[in-house]
């Protein structure tokens, strides 16, 4: 069987992740992501270059925007393709895509050709849950008599999946976003128990050799929160709405339950709350660290717009978990950060990656009392509050991916979903250890013959 691979987006970057893999004349697209920071048409995968192919299948690994956000755009090109995901991913699709639509509309309203986003409309969003086919982990799905696939739990967020494709006896494993460590809600990934032929792996965290472990970060976070609260201030924790917010809420709850931090009010974004409810719907049916535990058991206050300037947390020490993670302009975490920065007794705990072009990056790397300017018209705001940096990534560490490669022992390894440093770092280690294996850091748009 002839197998070809082509990156449509998100090869040597974390962006509009989408890959074409062809088995003779059967074309399967893996993921349809939207670049979270690119603008206009360049934030979408390059479906124009494959529009004359017969694309019959799209497999979505999980519901993060960089894997799902371009689905309406994909449907513009391939309206009759079959779409496959796990059940929780389907449940998240509605919340995530309607949020993406809101953001795209604001952006395209101002400067871009609106026909690009013509499919981001209610009619399409309503149809998507009806046309998506949903499956359990390890349920066999046949694309034809020779090609089948199954989802494996990827341990990244609720419903996240790796994909094992069996094409005429050849086994291809696409990791999606994968975490080989237990988080606070979601247990670590489940891998196939046998050798595979072709591995397509993410490499998000591979730029850092000694990535801190969760336990260490929990201790640091607890002392940060204690320091700020003892000064009478509140702590802002900027967070992505899906996955990260739930894990961080659980971590804060665990610290309170163990009396490692005081029992102060917790504020939480409405969108993250909507996602909590979906987590709770699957508290028995999908594998969890604490089976049956519901996030609704944790007492939270929903963060309202009027709280941004006048919330009780300006008077009483509190913890605010607010979107977005990178403090993008106009979001709750950005507006709150601007209010927190000049208050010396307050704190901002940055708990994840921030792209260099975001306000989050500026805040994370600021020096005490530095004046920060977030755009060219900005009058500036002084960074007097305490700023902490923590790493609670939901991706595997480099050494864990190396362990996975050893376990799966593939002949061909394709490294994607990382910046160039990360891809080179995992690639050069693998080349040294396995000189006989074929290792590919694929260029966008180039077709790689895999067999």
Residues that bind Zn ion (CB under 5 A): 64, 66, 177
| Least Cβ distance, residue 372 to Zn ion (angstroms) | 28
Q: In angstroms, rounded to a whole number, what is the distance separating the alpha carbons of residues 440 and 200?
A: 9
Q: In angstroms, rounded to a whole number, what is the distance separating the alpha carbons of residues 261 and 253?
A: 9
User: How far from chain centre, in Å, is Cα 246?
Assistant: 13
Judged by beta carbon, residue 176 or residue 317, the one nearer Zn ion is 176
In the chain, what is the greatest distance between 2 CA atoms, to the nearest angstrom? 67
| Least Cβ distance, residue 229 to Zn ion (angstroms) | 31
| Least Cβ distance, residue 62 to Zn ion (angstroms) | 6
Judged by beta carbon, residue 62 or residue 87, the one nearer Zn ion is 62
Judged by beta carbon, residue 155 or residue 317, the one nearer Zn ion is 155
The H or E element spanning position 308 is helix 307-310
| Least Cβ distance, residue 204 to Zn ion (angstroms) | 7
Q: State the burial class of residue 435 (Cβ atoms within 10 Å of its Cβ: 0-12, 13-18, 19+).
A: exposed
| Least Cβ distance, residue 14 to Zn ion (angstroms) | 6
Q: How many CB atoms lie within 10 A of CB 221?
A: 24
Judged by beta carbon, residue 161 or residue 229, the one nearer Zn ion is 161
226 Rama sector, left if φ>0, alpha if ψ -120 to 50, beta otherwise: alpha
Contacts of 6 (CB under 8 A, 6+ apart): 19, 20, 21, 50, 442, 445, 446, 447, 448
| Least Cβ distance, residue 10 to Zn ion (angstroms) | 8
Judged by beta carbon, residue 119 or residue 175, the one nearer Zn ion is 175
DSSP string, 322-380: ES-TT--TTSHHHHHHHHHTT-TT-EEEE-S---TTSHHHHHHTPPTT-EE-SSTT---
Judged by beta carbon, residue 166 or residue 201, the one nearer Zn ion is 201
């Amino acid at each position: 069987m002839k197998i070809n691979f082509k990156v449509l987006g998100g090869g040597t970057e974390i962006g509009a992740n989408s890959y074409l893999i062809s088995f003779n004349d059967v074309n399967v697209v893996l993921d349809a992501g939207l670049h979270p920071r690119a603008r206009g048409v360049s934030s979408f995968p390059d479906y124009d270059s494959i529009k004359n192919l017969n694309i019959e299948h799209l497999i979505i690994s999980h519901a993060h925007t960089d894997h799902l956000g371009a689905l309406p755009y994909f449907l513009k090109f391939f309206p009759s393709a079959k779409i496959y995901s796990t059940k929780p991913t389907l449940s998240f699709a509605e919340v995530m895509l309607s949020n993406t639509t809101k953001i795209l509309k604001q952006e395209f309203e101002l400067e871009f050709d609106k026909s690009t986003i013509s499919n981001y409309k209610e009619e399409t969003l309503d149809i998507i849950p009806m046309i998506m086919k949903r499956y359990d982990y390890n349920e066999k799905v046949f694309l034809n008599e020779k090609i089948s696939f199954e989802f494996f739990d990827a341990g990244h967020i609720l419903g996240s999946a790796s994909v094992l494709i069996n094409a005429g006896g050849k086994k291809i494993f696409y990791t999606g976003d994968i975490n080989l460590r237990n988080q606070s809600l979601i247990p670590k990934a489940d891998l196939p128990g046998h050798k595979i032929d072709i591995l397509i792996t993410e490499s998000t965290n591979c730029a850092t050799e000694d990535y801190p472990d969760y336990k260490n970060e929990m201790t640091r976070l607890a002392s940060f929160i204690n320091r700020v609260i003892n000064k009478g201030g509140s702590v802002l924790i900027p967070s992505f709405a899906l996955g990260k917010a739930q894990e961080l809420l659980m971590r804060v709850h665990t610290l309170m339950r163990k009396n490692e931090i005081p029992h102060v009010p917790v504020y939480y974004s409405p969108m993250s709350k909507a996602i909590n409810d979906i987590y709770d719907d699957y508290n028995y049916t999908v594998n969890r660290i604490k089976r049956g535990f519901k996030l609704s058991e944790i007492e939270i206050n929903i963060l309202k717009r009027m709280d941004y300037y006048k919330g009780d947390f300006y008077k009483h020490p509190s913890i605010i978990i607010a979107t977005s993670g990178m403090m993008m302009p106009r979001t709750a975490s950005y507006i709150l950060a601007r209010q927190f920065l000049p208050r010396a007794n307050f704190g901002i705990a940055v708990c994840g990656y921030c792209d260099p072009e975001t306000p989050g990056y500026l805040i994370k790397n600021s020096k005490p009392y530095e004046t920060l300017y977030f755009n060219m018209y900005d009058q500036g705001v002084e960074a007097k509050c305490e700023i902490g940096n923590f790493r609670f990534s939901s991706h595997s560490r480099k050494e864990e991916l190396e362990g996975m490669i050893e376990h799966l022992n593939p002949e061909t390894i394709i490294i994607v979903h990382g910046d160039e440093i990360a891809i080179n770092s995992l690639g050069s280690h693998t080349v040294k250890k396995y000189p006989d294996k074929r290792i590919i850091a694929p260029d966008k748009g180039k077709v790689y013959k895999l067999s």
